[in-house]
Amino acid sequence: MTKDANLEKITALAKRRGFIFPSSEIYGGLANVYDFGPLGAELKNNIKQLWWDRFVHKRDDIVGLDSSIFMNSKVWEASGHVSSFTDPLIECKHCHSRFRTDALPHENLKQCPHCGEKEGFSEPKQFNLMFKTHIGATEEESNDVYLRPETAQAIFINFKNILDTTRKAIPFGVAQMGKAFRNEITTGYFIFRMLEFEQMEIEYFIHEKDWERFFDHWKEEIITWAIEVGISKDNLRFREHDEKERSHYSKRTVDLEYNFMGDFKEIYGLAYRGNYDLAKHKLMYVDQQSNEQFIPHVIEPSFGVERTILPILLDAYHEEEKRIVLKLKPRIAPYKTAVFPLVQNKEEIVTKAQSVHQNLVALGIYSAWDARGNIGKRYLSQDEIGTPYCITIDYDTLKDNTVTVRDRDTTQQERIKIDQLQEYLMPKII
């Protein structure tokens, strides 16, 4: 099966089962904007919590930040975004739709893909990618603000505050998760490229002499994370930016790319930003031991949340003879277990099943309750949303206090004592 075919099936499954919905759908939708449904919200939060646990809680050298979306516009002037955060676009002379030249096949440059007219296109022009809005009741120029196009600048402008309150010494990092917004021409492909997206970023502050060592460290950390969260190593590769592609302040940039839609495309980035950003914001570091003052250099690993979710779904999706199954890593699956009463017309079985379900939830094992239809259809339904384990309460449960635990991937079943469920499940789902 081609990845394009898989993408269509993932898109359909995501909507059908409550992972991802087109935004504003009842009013015709809004291109390249999506909402995460009940299961999608759980998947997304599980990925973010796992990332935060790995890169903040389990490391003594990284602290967290949660900054505002709006910042003083002087931030974006100092960083260079106001003057140079642009894309070259061409515009249809008939319908005025805009397109990135690199996103159009060469043969389409003679005909607008939106309206079909052949009046031609304008010469490429640079368009700023930031969304601009206004604070206050009047639209005065002094009230201009921007929706942030990246989360990194908030880390840089809080550099002194973080140093003063944490007493961290170089090398150390600051991690942040949050929404970013770019008014760019999107090219579809479901949630791969969106106007509103979420980033998980780290700015890691170092001595200049150590940049190569830490660059290699974070390169390994990026791909290790991708594999651990459920992206196939076979579909990943690093691509080095050449000198023309790199930002002017970067000595080295690599992308971690995923092979989907028949091509390799960036999901994560790693950049050595030098000391450009802190210098622009006039921020210094004072070494507490030597009293030396200098502007630290920065290694930036950047992870896209939605660009994590899409490869995960593609690699987890399997069509087998009698079922569709999402083989999600248990740690990120929306539900860890599903609890079924074998039958609905025997009160003791239903009551016992409800008790097992409630106890699992109380233990922090997020569990689905399903008493609809026959047991086979319930299994298939949970397979399709990636639930790792299904627990069935039946007539034998009333005799010996055991339940049937079914493994999603193998479909094998085991009888487990109810009081041993926590011990059985926890090593498998954490």
Would you say 183 is a known binding-site residue?
yes
Asked if residue 20 has pLDDT above 90, the reply is yes
Q: Tell whether 104 is covered by a domain.
A: no
Averaged pLDDT for residues 10-19: 96
- 38 marked as binding residue: no
Position with higher pLDDT, 121 vs 255? 255
Q: Is 307 marked as a binding-site residue? A: yes
The predicted structure's pLDDT at residue 247: 83
Whether 295 shows a pLDDT value over 90: the answer reads yes
pLDDT at 187 over 80: no
**192 annotated ligand-binding residue:** yes
Q: What is the pLDDT of residue 193?
A: 86
Whether residues 298 and 390 fall in one domain: no
Is 100 within any annotated ligand binding site? Answer: yes
273 among annotated binding-site residues? no
pLDDT at position 3 is 52
R_g of the chain computed on alpha carbons: 25
Work out the pLDDT band at 353, boundaries 50, 70, 90.
Answer: very high
- Domain-terminating residue out of 299, 314, 329: 314
Residue 2 pLDDT more than 60?
Answer: no
Does the pLDDT value for residue 175 go beyond 50?
yes
Which CATH number goes with the domain that contains 405? 3.40.50.800
Q: Are residues 252 and 376 in the same domain?
A: no
pLDDT class of 48 with cuts at 50, 70, 90: very high
- The Cα-based distances of 401 to 165, 348, 351 in angstroms read 54, 12, 13
Q: Is the residue at 54 inside a domain?
A: yes
Who has greater pLDDT, 387 or 91?
A: 387
pLDDT above 90 for 138: no
On whether 384 is known to bind a ligand per the annotation, the reply is: no
Q: Is the pLDDT at 53 greater than 90, yes or no?
A: yes
* pLDDT digits 0-9 by tens, 255-279: 999 998 678 999 999 999 999 999 9
85 and 129 Cβ atoms separated by less than 8 Å: yes
Same domain flag for 277 and 216: yes
Given a cut of 80, whether residue 161 has pLDDT beyond it is: yes
Tell me: is residue 196 an annotated ligand-binding position.
yes
Is residue 221 located within the same domain as residue 278?
yes
Q: Does 267 appear as a known binding residue?
A: yes
Which pairs from 381-385 meet CB under 8 Å and 24+ separation? 382/335, 382/338, 382/408, 383/323, 383/324, 383/325, 383/326, 383/408, 384/13, 384/17, 384/323, 384/324, 384/325, 384/326, 385/17, 385/19, 385/39, 385/326, 385/334, 385/335
Q: Are residues 276 and 389 part of one domain?
A: no
The reply, when asked if residue 223 is annotated as ligand binding, is no
237 is in an annotated binding site: no
State how many domains the chain has: 2
C-alpha distances (whole Å) from 236 to each of 44, 229, 239, 267, 300 are 21, 13, 10, 10, 19
In a domain, 136, yes or no: no
For residue 285, the domain's CATH number is 3.30.930.10
In this predicted structure, what is the pLDDT of residue 39? 98
Same domain, 70 and 208: yes
Residue 185 has pLDDT above 80, yes or no: no
Q: CA of 320: how far to CAs of 6, 8, 20, 411, in Å?
A: 14, 17, 23, 12
Q: Is 382 annotated as a binding residue?
A: no
Percent of the chain scoring above 70 in pLDDT:
94
300 is in an annotated binding site: yes
Could you say which of 259, 281, 314 is where a domain stops?
314
> Is this prediction's pTM over 0.85?
yes
The answer to whether 303 is annotated as binding is yes
- Asked if residue 382 belongs to a domain, the reply is yes
Query: Quick one: 267 and 364 in the same domain?
Result: no
Average pLDDT over residues 387-401: 97
Q: Give yes or no: residues 194 and 263 share one domain.
A: yes
User: With bands split at pLDDT 50, 70 and 90, how would you rate the model's confidence at 94?
Assistant: confident
Handedness of CA 218, 223, 225, 226 (dihedral sign): positive
Q: Is residue 320 part of a domain?
A: no
Confirm whether residue 107 is marked as ligand binding. Answer: no
| Distance in angstroms (rounded) separating the CA atoms of residues 271 and 269 | 7
Q: How much is the average pLDDT of 51-75?
A: 96
| Average model confidence (pLDDT) across the chain | 91
Average pLDDT estimate for 105-134: 76
Q: Is 71 annotated as a binding residue?
A: no
| Residue 196, domain member (yes or no) | yes
Residues above pLDDT 90, as percent of the chain: 74
Q: Are residues 372 and 272 in the same domain?
A: no
Mean predicted confidence (pLDDT) in 103-122: 71
**Is 231 marked within a binding site?**
no
19 is in an annotated binding site: no
Is 197 annotated in a binding site? The answer is yes
Residue indicated by tokens 């005025």 = 96
Does a structural domain hold residue 164?
yes
Is 131 annotated as belonging to a binding site?
no
Structure letter (DSSP) for residue 300: E
Annotated binding-site residue? 150 = yes
Does the pLDDT at position 45 exceed 90? yes
Residues 6+ apart with CB under 8 A from 242: none
User: Residue 1 above 50 pLDDT?
Assistant: no
Say yes or no: 20 and 167 in one domain: yes
353 and 288: one domain? no
Q: How many CB atoms lie within 10 A of CB 194?
A: 22
Q: Which residue has the higher pLDDT, 123 or 322?
A: 322
Q: pLDDT for 208-235, tens place per residue?
A: 999 999 999 999 999 999 999 999 999 9
Residue 139 has pLDDT above 70, yes or no: no
**Domain membership flag for residue 217:** yes
Q: Which domain-ending residue is among 279, 314, 349?
A: 314
221 is known to lie in a ligand binding site: no
Per the annotation, does 195 bind a ligand?
yes
305 has binding-site annotation: yes
Give the range of the structural domain holding residue 38, as residue numbers without chain letter.
3-83+146-314
**Quick one: 292 and 367 in the same domain?**
no
